Amino acid sequence: MLAFLLGFVRTSRSVRIPLLFAGIALLAGCASHPPAPKLASSDSYTYNIGPGDMLNIVVWRNPELSMTVPVRPDGKIAAPLIEDLPAIGKNPTTLARDIEAALGKFIRDPVVTVVVTNFVGPYSEQIRVVGEATKPQILAYRQKMTLLDVMIAVGGMTDFADGNGASILRAADGNKQYSVRLKDLVKRGDVSANVEMAPGDVLIIPQSWF
């Protein structure tokens, strides 16, 4: 490989730069990351509310106070007798208790239930797919979500993807990068290449040079 890189010195000036860049790209393609580790059980995962979620707020015996509201981009909600109550990052039970505390100033012993009807989730927990996916996009994380689930959601890879050169950037591990074998998983049906995703993962699918 080193001989290949140094070979541009003996060529004409017009082809030195292309050869140099080709060599760098080839070296970059040879760089490897450790495989994605098996995650600890995600059974304890609790969904937290994020901007864009739709919340069905039910106030027992007070139908006039019950309604469906969106979580605004600033992470807050507004409902009858409630203004600008922070919701982002809270689970539905915690938010229900906060709404009860807010309504308690106006009605006696309110009982509130919060049901999430449209799931987006906090930005920090969303799964992002970039590069040579058919439909690069942001996905809401789901408990026990796998790499195969993600690939189905984005419609697979383009014809130019380097599937086995893909990697996962894992925020939960301090942005450590792990290699994944998308080609083996999607094209060859090798289920051993399937791995569980973690909240906040970024799946990077590079372009193949060949």
Q: b or e along 27-62 (b: 16 or more beta carbons within 10 Å of the residue's beta carbon)?
A: eeeeeeeeebeeeeeeeeeebbbbbebebebbbeeb
**For 192-199, what is the mean pLDDT?**
96
Domain 54-118 top-level CATH class: alpha beta
Q: What is the mean pLDDT of the chain?
A: 87
**157-179 pLDDT, tens digit each:** 999 999 999 999 999 999 999 99
What local confidence, expressed as pLDDT, does residue 200 receive? 97
Q: Which pTM value belongs to this model?
A: 0.79
Identical fold for domains 37-44+123-210 and 54-118, yes or no, is no
Instruction: Tell me the average pLDDT across 177-196.
Output: 96
Q: What number is the average pLDDT over the span 27-41?
A: 69
| CA distances (Å), origin 156, targets 51, 134, 160, 182, 187 | 27, 6, 12, 9, 9
37-44+123-210 belongs to which homologous superfamily?
A: Outer membrane lipoprotein wza domain like (3.10.560.10)
Which residue ranges make up each domain of the chain? 1-31, 37-44+123-210, 54-118
* pLDDT attached to residue 10: 43
> What mean pLDDT do residues 108-119 have?
96
- Residue 5 predicted with pLDDT over 80: no
Neighbours of 111 (CB within 10 A): 12
- pLDDT at residue 28 tops 80: no
Whether residue 32 has pLDDT greater than 50:
yes
Cα dihedral 22/193/145/169 (nearest 10): -30
Residue 91 has pLDDT above 50, yes or no: yes
